Amino acid sequence: MKFKIDDKVLEKFPSVQLGIVTVEDIDNTGTNEEILNLIKQEQERIRKEFEKGTLSENERIKCWREAFSSFGAKPKKYRCSVENLYRMTLDGIDLKHINKIVDLYNYLSLKHMVPVGGDDLDNVESDITLKIADGTEKFIELNSDEEKSPKEGEVIYCDDKDVLCRRWNWRECDKSKMVEETKTVSLVVEGLVLSKEEIETIINELQELVKKYVGGETKTFILNKENKEVEL
């Protein structure tokens, strides 16, 4: 299985960096209080350091708002995943436990102010591609069974059969969601204003957290305009 960035995405967003961590044979069952405490500490820090009124001016949020606007997604209606986490936090909402691997990437997203997501690779049909939608692709939203299609021009992750995530990192699909029974995953750290070195630092930290809390065999990769596809 390959992970690829389509040339049209690279033409429009030449600074994009994707840091990928793949993990096989994880133990994603149960709850870990240490992870939940890490999330709690980050949310407390964010509430002290940030305000909702100026959040959109931060470079790491602003770049995603501009990207979303460029493919017709109004930022006030469709927020990137990390802005959504920050606004929930600043609204006083404590993040709830989902499962250990999702809790871990939510923690890293809060800590580094970057979008982080992932897929259960056992439920992915083929290669994963970050591409620009033509509008004919099929998408079933997380925890839904209603089939929809992305808007033409929006950035999506997809395999050969379905959209895995719409509007870049706005909404994940249902079929590759990570659950307690998940054993094999790909986790993706996304950067538009981050250097390759900054992405490397984050995925190395993610790799160590994964080893500590869910185990498994890990590999790391970076995709960008110099390296637009990898074999997972």
* pTM metric for this prediction: 0.96
Classify 207 as helix, strand or coil. Answer: helix
As a whole number, the mean pLDDT across the chain is 97
CA 4 – CA 2 distance, rounded (Å)? 6
For residue 188, give the amino acid letter. V
pLDDT > 90? residue 145: no
Among 188, 215, 17, which residue's Cα sits nearest to residue 119? 188
pLDDT > 90? residue 2: yes
pLDDT > 90? residue 143: no
| Opening angle at CA 16, ends 78 and 117, nearest 5 | 55
Domain ranges within the chain, ordered by starting residue: 2-231
Confidence of residue 47 (pLDDT cuts 50, 70, 90): very high
For residue 8, give the amino acid letter. K
Share of residues in the chain with pLDDT > 70 (%) = 100
- pLDDT (tens digit, 9 = 90+) per residue, 190-212? 999 999 999 999 999 999 999 99
Residue 163's H or E segment, with its range, is: strand 163-166
pLDDT > 90? residue 79: yes
At 139 the pLDDT is: 97
CA 117 – CA 228 distance, rounded (Å)? 19
pLDDT > 90? residue 152: yes
At 19 the pLDDT is: 98
CATH dotted code for 2-231: 3.50.40.10
Q: What is the mean pLDDT of residues 3-25?
A: 98
Helices (H) and strands (E) in the chain, counts: 7, 12
